[in-house]
Amino acid sequence: MTTHPDTRTVRIGAPDPGGRPVAVPIHQTSIFAFDGPADVADAMSGPTGAFSYSGYANPTVRALEDAMTGLEGGAAALATGSGSSAMSSVLLGALRRGDHVIAQRALYGGTYSVLRELSSNWGVEVTHIDAADPAELTAALRPTSRVLVLETIANPTGHVPDLPGLLGVARGAGLLGVVDNTFATPLLCRPIEHGADVVVHSATKYLGGHHDVVGGVAVFADDDRYRRTWEQAVRFGTVADPFGAWLVLRGVKTLALRVRRQCDTAGRLAALLAEHPAVTAVHHPGLPSHPSHARATALLDGYGGTAAFDLADREAAHAFLGGLRLVLNAGSLGGTETVAMHPATTSHRHLDERALAAAGIGPGTVRIACGIEHADDLWADVAQALG
């Protein structure tokens, strides 16, 4: 058909590459076209057929979902626009008014806040447990209990829950076991192997790994739960953008190299901090003195890339952070640059005194999340800021 230039400027085709691209292409398109209406209808009927609309599914996003399904050992995955939307999609897909959620007390602040919102305004009941002992979970069970929420490595204290024990109790009681594996990454722990039904990641952290993208992923042990959550994610519009998914995929390629180095550096800093006279406590599960050390050694292939420590008080913590030159004063974690923050006045600011204490956060607690700079340079900076 002959067309006007106006039309030809719009209708630009793509060449068939012939060979297979090694890097996943960015399918930056919102829609996919077909030969006829039956194909469109078919494509729009579910998450697994042909791609029709990127608000439902997209090939670049699917590449990330497939990579994470493989890394976590699940049946399917759903990539979302952020870690928080991964968690809220899972919760909104699993809960009805009147249902009861049990969650560990030392939770990521955003997850804590979603649960508080669900309990204040959405008719969902929430109980927090210390998660040190499966008997605590048994005691908290109600006939309406539906979901258990855990984190592999708690922020910022580095506590590691008894995943197999707790998930075993959850399974026995018919609860959906949801584990936020952001801090561990699938390289240190694969919660589905320990009985989790859903694994949630903030891809903003280690998976993306370069402080340049916000994203999330939920990996499901079974397909049915994936489909139900996918429906809820489409309904609430929490899907991932192709370019964001591509950045996360690009990060995942170097995940093993980065995480090993970040774990080594965090372990070194933790050991050095423990010797420093200004430091009153160090919270890192790699230290034999840490209450979760034995469990972390049994459960994890590394102790994580963060270390928290206590200084005398809030003033000392702020003076330390203000004195840093190389380490950045910033939130988040898991990227190439080392960052430090004061949880009590940032990530955990909405917790009251009692909740802070229960989460193991004191007024002088500082968290360092290691990047991939040379450990000697990082220690030199930390030491000068302590002095």
Ligand X SMILES: *Cc1c(COP(=O)(O)O)cnc(C)c1O
Contact footprint for ligand X (CB under 6 A): 82-84, 108, 110-111, 151, 155, 180, 182-183, 202, 204-205, 214, 216
Query: What secondary structure letter does DSSP report for 333?
Result: -
Q: For ligand X, which is the closer residue by CB, 99 or 151?
A: 151
Could you tell me the strand order of the sheet in which 306-310 lies?
281-283, 306-310, 365-369, 339-341, 328-329
CB of 253 to ligand X, least distance (A): 20
Residue nearest to ligand X (CB): 83
CA dihedral (100, 105, 107, 111) positive or negative: positive
Which lies closer to ligand X via its Cβ, residue 82 or residue 265?
Answer: 82
Q: How far is the CB of 1 from ligand X (least distance, A)?
A: 47
- Minimum CB separation of residue 83 from ligand X in Å reads 2
Nearer to ligand X, 81 or 242 (CB): 81
Least distance to ligand X, CB of residue 335, Å: 12
Nearest-approach distance from CB 262 to ligand X, in angstroms: 14
Residue 3 or 329: the one with the smaller Cβ distance to ligand X is 329
Which runs of consecutive H residues, i.e. helices, occur in 95-253?
Answer: 109-121, 134-140, 163-172, 185-188, 223-236, 242-252
**Residues β-bridged to residue 148:** 102, 177
Q: Which residues pair with 309 in a beta bridge?
A: 282, 366
Is residue 109 within 8 A of residue 347, CB to CB? The reply is: yes
Tokens describing residue 287? 């230290």
Beta bridge partners of residue 126, listed in sequence order: 101
**364 SS3 class:** coil
3-state helix, strand, coil in the chain (%, to 5): 40, 15, 45
Of residues 87 and 316, the one with the C-beta less far from ligand X: 87
**Least Å distance between CB 354 and ligand X?**
22
Q: Which is nearer to ligand X, 194 or 348 (CB)?
A: 348
